[in-house]
Each structure stands twice: as C-alpha cells, then as structure tokens.
C-alpha cells in the first residue's frame, strides 16, 4: 500500500542552524501539507501546498520557514535559523485531488522528530 515517507526520522541540530526535512508524498497525490506536534500537545497545521505554490499557511509558518517541491517526488520543509521552540515532531501529509467533492483524506508520514539544542 502506498505511503508517505519522511527522512530523517530524527534530526538534532544546534540553535541557529538551518534544517531541511524531507518528505516523499504518495505518488498520485497533488496536495501536500506540513504539520507539527510539540511533545505531548496537539497536531498543528503549518502549511499546505498545491501546484508549486503555498495554498494556505498558519501563523506559525513565519519567514523562517519555507517549503519546496524540488522535483517530482520530494516535498521539503526548511527552517532557516532554528530556535529552541522549533523542537517538535514534524509530519508531512498528502491527499489526492478530489473529483470536485471536497476535502480528501490526508495521509500522514511517520514524522521527523526535530530536537534543537
């Protein structure tokens, strides 16, 4: 069964460093998302992406964050200068383009645990 994959599973970085989190969405999916989950808290929306541009972003997704689809398979989240509060689990998700029927199911990857020291 097709699944969303994410690498690395765990990333440790120093405050102020740049990190890139990678995702490979399900191959026929066209909508991509990033969410984050601070330890013990709820899952929060960061950004959605379609047709090579951001569709929607949350207040969390400030200028330190960027997303890119550099090729036909990868979807990346970059944090330019990490802060301690960026420590969280980051989930990538993807959904198929629905046939005009509304919101399709988002399938999540296993997550990347980011630890900022």
List residues binding another protein (CB under 8 A). 30-31, 33, 35, 41-45, 48, 50, 55-56, 58, 89, 91, 93, 95-98, 100, 102-111, 113
Residue partners of 32: CB distance under 8 A and separation at least 6: 23, 25, 48, 49, 50, 67, 69, 75, 92, 93, 94
* 8 prior amide bond cis, ω within 30: yes
Positive or negative: CA dihedral 47, 86, 7, 35: negative
Q: Which two tokens stand for residue 106?
A: 């988002």
* 69 Cβ contact partners less than 8 Å away, ≥ 6 residues apart: 32, 49, 52, 75, 76
C-beta closer to another protein: residue 56 or 68: 56
Query: Of the two residues 50 and 66, which places its CB atom closer to another protein in the complex?
Result: 50
Pick between residue 19 and residue 31 the one whose CB is nearest to another protein: 31
Nearer to another protein, 22 or 44 (CB): 44
Shortest spacing between CB 112 and another protein, in angstroms: 10
CB of 106 to another protein, least distance (A): 6
Minimum CB–partner distance for residue 30 and another protein (Å): 7
Minimum CB–partner distance for residue 45 and another protein (Å): 4
């Amino acid at each position: 069964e097709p699944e969303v994959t994410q690498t690395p599973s765990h990333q440790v970085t120093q405050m102020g460093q740049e990190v890139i989190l990678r995702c490979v969405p399900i191959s026929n999916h066209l909508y991509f998302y990033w969410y984050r989950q601070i330890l013990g808290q709820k899952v929060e929306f960061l950004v959605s992406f379609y047709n090579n541009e951001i569709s929607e972003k949350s207040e969390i997704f400030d200028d330190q964050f960027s997303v890119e689809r550099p090729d036909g398979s990868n979807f990346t989240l970059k944090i330019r200068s990490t802060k301690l509060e960026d420590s969280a689990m980051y989930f990538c998700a993807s959904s198929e383009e629905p046939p005009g029927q509304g919101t399709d199911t988002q399938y999540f990857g296993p997550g990347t645990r980011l630890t900022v020291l």
